[in-house]
């Protein structure tokens, strides 16, 4: 579709641009400080660092002039990213120095939606927040306030603050992204430190993990490499995503039907004797219980739940097993597919174990840090990063405990970066 730009449209855009430019005078914005602008002169150098624009934290290099960062690029020594950085990472300094970046507290003075704000001091802002929180606590109870942080060391403070306030309701990045597959990996392997060898995979089943519209450069590069080298990519996604467009097959699975598909695939692997018997006998426990638990989850049953034909489910299971061990079902991300998220991810992990793709090219592998490499080498060949030291503080809650939303929420206190709330909209399979 071609979009025409006439004189009237151009003038409208010009007026909008002028209005945006005028926002540099809004109170509380970085542009309101009007710093003296000086030309940066001197010798430029690149300093190795880690991107903080998302939780992937890709290796980067920052160009520094006169002790000020002016440009970000991917670290050329990073094999996974190929020395690249995404648009979000590359704009890091733009966000830091953006004239519309809010650097002081703003308080709404008009009606909601009017866009009227005033700049206030930090003491005034904290007093206002504390008064509001205590008012909600007295009227509705502390448990009606939920607290959210991005993740990492700051979450310790957030969870501790929630405990001191009296609310058990906290959530962070993990709540909507890696929590389910992290728990699933731990229940099956005893550790969540398991990764996927996308680049060498020959048969890949992807359940809505759209890496091409995501943020992990290494995933996108590795899957592209696999497809270019002949990997058969099966996409199960209600939406025709960018990844679906690159897949060998796209199956518009019914939303929430992913778990039914995976359970039926496990059923076929077992009933048709397609699983790796030697691997299962040597390394696995509970196979008989697994066999009994999936006995009724046939492709015919699953086809009614996931809108993928029984014939296709059987064929995909056969092709998947035949390509092993350089095959995988990507355990993906997110925890908002179905109410039984952990069971979905656990079923996916089990389906990988059954074909014996562990520690095999194109399959799953355990993450190996510097300490393991040094142990295998018998000397220090890999450097270790020092862990962050968080100052001691009084603890009101067990910071290692996983907390979830268990009460109706009246207020949401968002700290640092916001997350999301688990959605319930699908069937459950026990």
> What is the pTM assigned to this prediction?
0.77
Q: pLDDT per residue over 212-244, tens digit each? A: 988 789 999 999 999 999 999 999 999 999 999
- Cβ-Cβ contacts under 8 Å for 369 (sequence gap 6 or more): 384
Instruction: Output the pLDDT for position 238.
Output: 95
Instruction: Output the pLDDT for position 56.
Output: 84
Domain map of the chain by residue range? 45-97, 194-366
Instruction: Output the pLDDT for position 27.
Output: 54
H-helix segments, 62-105: 87-90, 92-97
∠ CA(221), CA(59), CA(48), 5° rounding? Answer: 145
Instruction: Output the pLDDT for position 101.
Output: 87
Spatial contact of 75 and 47, defined as CB atoms under 8 Å apart: no
Spatial contact of 118 and 141, defined as CB atoms under 8 Å apart: no
Could you write out the DSSP letters of every residue in 202-253?
Answer: SEEEEES--GGGSS-HHHHHHHHHHHHTT-EEEEE-SS--HHHHHSSEEE-P
Instruction: Output the pLDDT for position 23.
Output: 46
Domain 45-97: give its CATH code. Answer: 2.20.25.90
CA 172 to chain centre: 11
H-helix segments, 286-426: 287-293, 299-306, 310-323, 341-354, 370-377
Instruction: Output the pLDDT for position 318.
Output: 98
Domain 194-366: give its CATH code. Answer: 3.40.228.10
* Phi, psi torsion values for 83, nearest 5 degrees: 70, 20
Q: Which residue has the tokens 């308080």?
A: 107
CA 253 to chain centre: 22
Spatial contact of 352 and 228, defined as CB atoms under 8 Å apart: no
Instruction: Output the pLDDT for position 44.
Output: 67
Ranges in the chain, pLDDT < 70: 1-44, 337, 388, 390, 393, 396-430
Q: Which of 240, 140, 196 is nearest to 360 (CA)?
A: 196
Helix (H) or strand (E) holding 59: strand 59-65
Distance CA 106, CA 114 (A): 14
Distance CA 210, CA 417 (A): 23
Distance CA 303, CA 253 (A): 10
């Amino acid at each position: 579709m071609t979009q025409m730009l006439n004189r009237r449209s151009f003038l409208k855009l010009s007026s909008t641009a002028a209005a945006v430019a005028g926002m540099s005078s809004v109170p509380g914005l970085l542009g309101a400080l009007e710093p003296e602008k000086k030309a940066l002169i001197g010798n430029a150098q690149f300093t190795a660092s880690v991107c903080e624009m998302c939780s992937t934290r890709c290796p980067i290099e920052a160009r520094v002039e006169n002790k000020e960062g002016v440009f970000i690029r991917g670290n050329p020594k990073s094999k996974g990213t190929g020395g690249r950085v995404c648009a979000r990472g590359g704009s890091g300094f733009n966000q830091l120095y953006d004239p519309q970046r809010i650097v002081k507290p703003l308080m709404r003075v008009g009606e909601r939606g009017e866009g009227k704000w005033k700049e206030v001091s930090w003491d005034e802002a904290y007093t206002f927040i504390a008064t509001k929180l205590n008012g909600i606590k007295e009227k509705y109870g502390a448990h009606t306030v939920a607290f959210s942080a991005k993740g990492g060391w700051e979450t310790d403070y957030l969870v501790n603050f929630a405990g001191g306030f009296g609310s058990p309701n906290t959530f962070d990045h993990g709540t909507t992204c890696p929590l389910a597959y992290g728990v699933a990996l731990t229940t099956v392997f005893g550790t969540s430190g398991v990764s996927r060898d996308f680049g060498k995979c020959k048969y890949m089943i992807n359940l809505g993990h759209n890496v091409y519209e995501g943020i992990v450069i290494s995933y996108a590069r590795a899957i592209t490499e696999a497809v270019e080298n002949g990997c058969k990519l099966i996409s199960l996604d209600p939406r025709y995503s960018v990844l679906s467009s690159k897949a060998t097959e796209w199956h518009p699975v019914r939303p929430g039907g992913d778990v039914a598909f995976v359970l039926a695939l496990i059923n076929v692997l077992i009933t048709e004797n397609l699983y790796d018997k030697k691997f299962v006998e040597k390394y696995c426990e509970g196979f008989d219980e697994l066999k009994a638990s999936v006995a009724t989850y046939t492709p015919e049953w699953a086809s009614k739940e996931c809108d993928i034909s029984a014939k296709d489910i059987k064929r995909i299971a056969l092709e998947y097993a035949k390509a092993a061990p350089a095959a995988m079902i990507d355990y993906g991300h997110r925890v908002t597919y179905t109410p039984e998220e952990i069971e979905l991810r656990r079923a996916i992990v089990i389906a990988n174990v059954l074909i014996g793709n562990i520690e095999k090219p194109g399959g799953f592998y355990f993450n190996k840090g510097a300490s393991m490499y040094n142990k295998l080498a018998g000397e220090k060949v890999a450097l270790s990063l020092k862990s962050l030291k968080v100052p001691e503080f009084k603890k009101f809650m067990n910071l290692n405990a996983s907390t979830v939303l268990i009460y109706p929420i009246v207020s949401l206190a968002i700290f640092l970066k916001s997350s999301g709330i688990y959605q319930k909209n699908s069937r459950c399979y026990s």
